[in-house]
Copies of this chain bind each other. A is one copy, B any other.
């Protein structure tokens, strides 16, 4: 019933993510997104209440996708060797979802989840952060039991190191396959030394 939309919600957000990856959140204007997606500005407001909501949706869509992969990988990290393998979700995600990786990696969360974003969106961001914190605590307890710096070291190893490694290549290029071995070696060393 009713006229069919000429673009799906997912495709609209994907187009917006591409704009955000290319131009950054500041230049991700309604006009720019509407042009990139090939829909009039009014159609965007038909689906989303505001620009702040659009920016939040871009970031949350990317973050939820990445976090689903990351938490699944971390759950399997029962040894330092397995953790080194799990850390490779980050370069793999960057290769599979370049624009979303740039959104997550090259900008601060606060530039997408702004003070003006509707509460619903802010709540999703809070939930994501809490889930990640919990997963990191569990992983740290398994990998480095008894180490008072366990959480900190696990975060540096499983998140910081792979993030920094892919950032050398983003946003212009895609991280080459070969760095995976470098990342794995670095993660092992950071957890084991």
Give the docked Cα–Cα distance between A133 and B178 (Å). 20
Would you call A31 an interface residue if the criterion is a C-beta within 8 Å of the partner chain's C-beta atoms?
no
Contact yes or no, B164 A167, CB < 8 A = yes
Chain B residues with Cβ below 8 Å from A24 are: 108, 110-111
Query: For residue A161, which residues in chain B have a CB less than 8 angstroms away from its CB?
Result: 161, 164-165, 186
Chain B residue with Cβ nearest A191: B182
How far, in angstroms, from A41 to B105 measured CA to CA in the complex? 33
Report the Cα distance A26→B107, complex, angstroms. 12
- Secondary structure call for the A interface: helix
Which residues of A in the span 145-161 have a Cβ within 8 Å of any Cβ on B? 149, 152-153, 155-157, 159-161
| B193 and A182 within 8 A (CB) | yes
Check if A168 sits within 8 Å of B189, measured CB to CB: no
A182: which of B108, B157, B178, B181 is its contact (CB, 8 Å)? B157
* Residue in chain B with minimal CB distance to A102: B108
Q: How far is the CB of A130 from chain B (nearest CB, A)?
A: 16
Name the B residues within 8 Å of A188 (CB-CB): 189
CA distance A188 to B187 in the complex (A): 11
Give the 7 A-B residue pairs with the shortest CB-CB distance, closest first: A164-B164, A189-B189, A185-B193, A26-B26, A186-B186, A160-B164, A160-B168
CB<8 Å pairs between A and B, sample of 7: A155-B168, A156-B168, A156-B179, A157-B182, A159-B168, A161-B161, A186-B190
A152-B179, A156-B179, A160-B167 known; 12 new pairs, CB 8 Å cut-off, are A26-B26, A107-B107, A152-B168, A152-B176, A153-B182, A156-B168, A156-B182, A161-B165, A164-B167, A181-B193, A185-B190, A185-B192
